[in-house]
Structure 1
Amino acid sequence: MHLKTTSTFLGLAVGSALALSAMPAGAATFGNNGIQFDQDTEVTFDFTGSNGKFGSMFGVVLESNPNNILPPVLFAENPAFDPGPIGDFQGTCGVVVPNPCTATFTFLAGESYSLALKSDNGTVYSTDSLNPLDPANPATPQTRQFVFFQDETTLPPLANESGEGSVDPFDKFAILIEDKGGSRDFNDFRLTAMATESDSPASIPEPATLAGLGLVAGSLTLIRRRQTNKKS
């Protein structure tokens, strides 16, 4: 009976440790209310095309300092659009942006970020609250200039600013951007993106894992002490 009780107790302790260690490592916010991760996270962006007269520069800003794009600038169009008689100022990978049209940015844990598209006609942000009010109607909410879709195959032009508001950054998604040109078709700059979870160093267990292992160690110490007391 004593052996059975001891085995059951140890099984519960070990099971608790394993369950704690298997819990998700972190959470994230990514969308029109801002970008934030609870651990350093690398996001890969892929430029898929543009339709804009102005050469654009795309990158990441801190919400606390939205006027300065953080290094590195992820994409900078040069020239502004493909040469030749192409409609709607089309820009393609390998022409306006050098191949392979892929860039990465590491978001630091706990910082509040926004994506930004800067061009000759102004800067727009993925965080709605950073975009200016409509001067014709200042009582309205800030204009939405970025739309997010979890389905990375979503393509403009869009009839309105419908989007998902926020996405799971660890599942590939689409970003469609409207500059200040006023057309509201969300095809001025287009990307897909996906975050990669950082692997914790093997030498530094997660706090939850340490707590579970401590429970196991404490259980073993208690059992040994009881057995010693019975023998005395």
Structure 2
Amino acid sequence: MNLKRNLACVGLAAGATFSVAAPSLAGTLTPSRLGLDTLNAPPKNQVVSGSAHLKDFPYFAREFSFKKDTVVRFSVLNPTGLGSRGRAQSNFGFLTNPVNGVGAFTSIFSEDKAYDQVGNTSYERQGGRVDDWLGTCGNAIGGTCVRSVLFKANTIYQLALNPSQKAVHFGVGALDTFTFNRLSDEQYPKSTQTVTVSKPGTLFIGMEDGLYANSRTSDRNDYYYDYQDWVVSADVPEPATLAGLGMVAGGMLLARRRKAAASA
């Protein structure tokens, strides 16, 4: 009996060590923790003209850092509606130690092509307009659909897109629910069609690449923002999940030791 009790204690201790050692972030992941301004209403399509367009974008992703090593889990899988939009091909990721918005870019999700291909030659002319050239995971978006990123303590980061090898960092955040325009003003300047993605406790990130020249006007330097070029969810691992993994590790250790004791 004493041997079993001692082995159980060893197993539980191993589990506790496993769960404590895993980097995590206490509390809900808010927009400000990733350098984003909160957005509580659908972004309004806005077209601005001229070479000074950058100052007219209302939301920029700011620099952020954590006091402890922190794991953030990003997804373009669930809920339905996440993904990339627009005809420009780009990657979603972050800059490390940026200086005035310039730094080493790390991709979290990338587009293998600018939008989903469905084998229909008229898709770009017709079908693509239905959902602003939506790119989904497993089609336009290659690789894994869910990725966990370890942000190191006391290191400066900044969320960004990387279209055509030049990072831009226009972004917004919304907790629990994010509503955005389904059709950008690249196609329909007065679009009122929206998509809403919802999941309690989840941070939704809307990024804008700012890459659009309005060929329907004499000014080809019009730029727009609607923050739906990438729509990504972000959260942190649940403490209960980490503890559960620890208990599993402890249980496996306990089983091995019991087997070894029985054969001794």
State the TM-score, normalizing by the size of structure 1: 0.54
For the residue of structure 1 that corresponds to 2:104, the secondary structure is: coil
**SS of 1:172 mapped into structure 2:** strand
Q: Secondary structure at the match of 2:71?
A: strand
Contact conserved, 2:34 with 2:159, CA < 8 A, in 1?
A: no
User: Does residue 189 of structure 2 align to residue 155 of structure 1?
Assistant: no
In the aligned structure 1, how far is the partner of 2:158 from the partner of 2:208? 15
Structure 1 match to 2:231? 190
Instruction: Give the residue type in structure 1 aligned to 2:108.
Output: L
Query: After superposition, what is the alpha-carbon deviation per residue over 1:47-103, rounded to whole angstroms, capped at 9, x for unaligned?
Result: 221112111112121243533213xx2111011111241212221121011365111
Q: How many residues align?
A: 145
For the aligned residue pairs, the C-alpha RMSD in angstroms reads: 3.0
Match of 1:35 among 64, 76, 79: 64
- CA drift of 1:43 comes to 0.6
Structure 1 position 69 matched with structure 2 position 105: yes
**Paired residue for 1:102?**
146
Instruction: Structure 1: give runs of 5+ residues left out of the alignment.
Output: 1-24, 126-144, 160-170, 203-232
Give the Cα separation in 2 of the matches to 1:154 and 1:115.
18
- AA partner of residue 34 (structure 2): F
- The one-letter amino acid paired with 2:73 is T
Tell me, what secondary structure is at the counterpart of 1:110? coil
Deviates more, 1:97-106 or 1:53-62: 97-106
Determine what percentage of the aligned residue pairs are the same residue: 27
Q: 2:66 & 2:166 partners in 1: Cα distance?
A: 28
- Whether the aligned pair in 1 keeps the contact of 2:91 and 2:109 (CA below 8 Å) is yes
- Is the partner of 1:120 in helix, strand or coil? helix
SS at match of 2:88: coil
* CA offsets 1:12-42 (integer angstroms, 9 cap, x no match): xxxxxxxxxxxxx868832234221111111
Most deviating of 60-69 and 76-85: 60-69
Following the alignment from structure 2 to structure 1, what is the Cα–Cα distance between the partners of residues 26 and 110?
A: 32
SS at match of 1:123: coil
Secondary structure (helix, strand or coil) at the match of 1:75 reads strand
Q: 1:64 to 1:120 in 2, by over 3 A?
A: closer
Asked whether the 8 Å contact 1:176–1:190 carries over to 2, the reply is yes
Alpha-carbon distance between aligned partners in 1 of 2:83 and 2:160, rounded to the nearest angstrom: 16
Which runs of 5 or more residues in structure 2 are unaligned?
1-24, 37-61, 77-81, 185-200, 212-222, 247-264
Q: 1:197 offset after TM fit, Å?
A: 7.4
The 5-angstrom pairing of residues 135-150 of structure 1 reads 145-150=170-175
Aligned to 1:45: 74
